Every structure is written in C-alpha cells, then in structure tokens.
C-alpha cells in the first residue's frame, strides 16, 4: 500500500468519483471506501501486485477501481443494473477488472468465470451477509484472506451492532474461517465492522 503525507493513495487513472489526484496518484477517500477506512484505522492488509481478488458488491466501482490499481486482477460482482452501468465505465480504461453482473448470494452463476483467488472482499448490504460470505469460500485459496465489511444495520436494525458482529464472527469461524481482526470503521462509516479472516488450510 502506498501512503503520501498520511493519505492512502493508489497509482492509476483518476476521475472515477471526483477523487483528488497528486501527480500519478489517486487519493483513496476513507469516507467513500470502507477498505480505505480500514487502512486509515490501522488495519493490516497489504494489496500487492500478483494478487487475484474477488470483489462482492462492487457497486459503482469506487473501491474496486483503487484495488485494481494494486493487484493483478479483480473480479467485480454487482447485481443492480444502475451501478453496473457506472462500473462498466470504470472498467473501460482498466484491463484487469472483470465485471460480472450476478447475485453474490448465488456464486454458481459465476463459478465458470472466476478462478481461485487470494482475497475475497465483500461489501453487500443484505441481511444474510455471513451466508453470502460462506457461499463464496469456494473461490478462496487455502490460507487466503476474506474481508467482510459487515453492515450491522442491514443484518438486524433492532440489535446492538456489537452483538451482530459477535454473531457474525462465530458463524464465520464455524464455517471454516479463522478471524484475525475485527475493526469498527467509525468515524468514517457508522455501525460497520471490518472482519478479516483467513481460510483454514
């Protein structure tokens, strides 16, 4: 990961979401990207050349565009037609993003497209976020990393967010993941927790 004067940046073509640029670098806004928020708050995960990434919930392409600046290939799954239009525009100058219009909860739909990956990153606003995560483990190599950006209010608005996160951690561990870090994303994103896991070998 590249830092300039305390800001997380990536090297790539700008103009995706009005982000500030410094020379050849794009400033990665933590208020617009949970991945950037995680990094700004001390999260320890390094995007590196050669990584293969499955990104679930790519939306308009804000975060996946930065991820693609670092890695070999990013498979970007998005279900909604309107964000997919924006995502396709983001992909035009980037040869290493593979846009996939599909439901992340039904990975069989893209099983023939996605190879084994080093990182699965999930940012999906659904009540069954953990089920979706576990369904996509089939793409993750042994020892690979799964990052779930848990939107607690989407799971159950009546429960305390920390209780929702604790339940998610238990379910992920029971599903075959080793949870390495749980980090709340305030002040950038309210009631969101980054849960970083390792696939058991």
pLDDT per residue over 131-172, tens digit each? 999 999 999 999 999 999 999 989 888 888 999 999 999 999
Interhelix angle for 62-70 vs 81-91, to 10°? Answer: 30
Closest CA to 120 of 103, 102, 143, 101: 143
62 annotated to a ligand binding site: yes
Give the span between the Cα atoms of 55 and 123, in whole angstroms: 8
125 annotated to a ligand binding site: yes
Domain boundaries, the chain: 30-199
123 annotated to a ligand binding site: yes
pLDDT band per the 50, 70, 90 thresholds, residue 15:
confident
80 annotated to a ligand binding site: no
* pLDDT at residue 201 greater than cutoff 80: no
- What CATH architecture does domain 30-199 belong to? 3-Layer(aba) Sandwich (3.40)
pLDDT per residue over 80-101, tens digit each? 999 999 999 999 989 999 999 9
124 annotated to a ligand binding site: yes
């Amino acid at each position: 990961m590249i830092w300039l004067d305390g800001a997380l940046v990536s090297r790539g073509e700008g103009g995706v979401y009005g982000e500030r640029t410094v020379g050849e670098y794009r400033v990665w806004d933590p208020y617009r990207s949970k991945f950037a928020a995680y990094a700004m708050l001390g999260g320890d995960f390094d995007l590196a050349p050669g990584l293969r990434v499955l990104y679930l919930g790519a939306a308009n392409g804000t975060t996946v565009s930065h991820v693609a600046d670092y890695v070999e290939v990013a498979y970007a799954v998005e279900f909604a037609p309107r964000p997919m239009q924006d995502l396709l525009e983001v992909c035009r100058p980037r040869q290493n993003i593979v846009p996939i219009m599909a439901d992340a909860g039904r990975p069989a739909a893209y099983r023939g497209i996605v190879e084994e990956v080093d990182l699965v990153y999930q940012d999906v606003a659904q009540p069954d976020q953990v089920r979706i995560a576990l369904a996509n483990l089939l793409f993750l190599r042994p020892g690979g990393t799964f990052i779930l950006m848990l939107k607690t209010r989407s799971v159950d608005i009546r429960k305390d967010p920390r209780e929702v996160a604790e339940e998610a951690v238990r379910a992920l561990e029971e599903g075959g993941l080793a949870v390495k870090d749980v980090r709340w994303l305030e002040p950038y994103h309210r009631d969101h927790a980054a849960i970083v896991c390792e696939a058991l070998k």
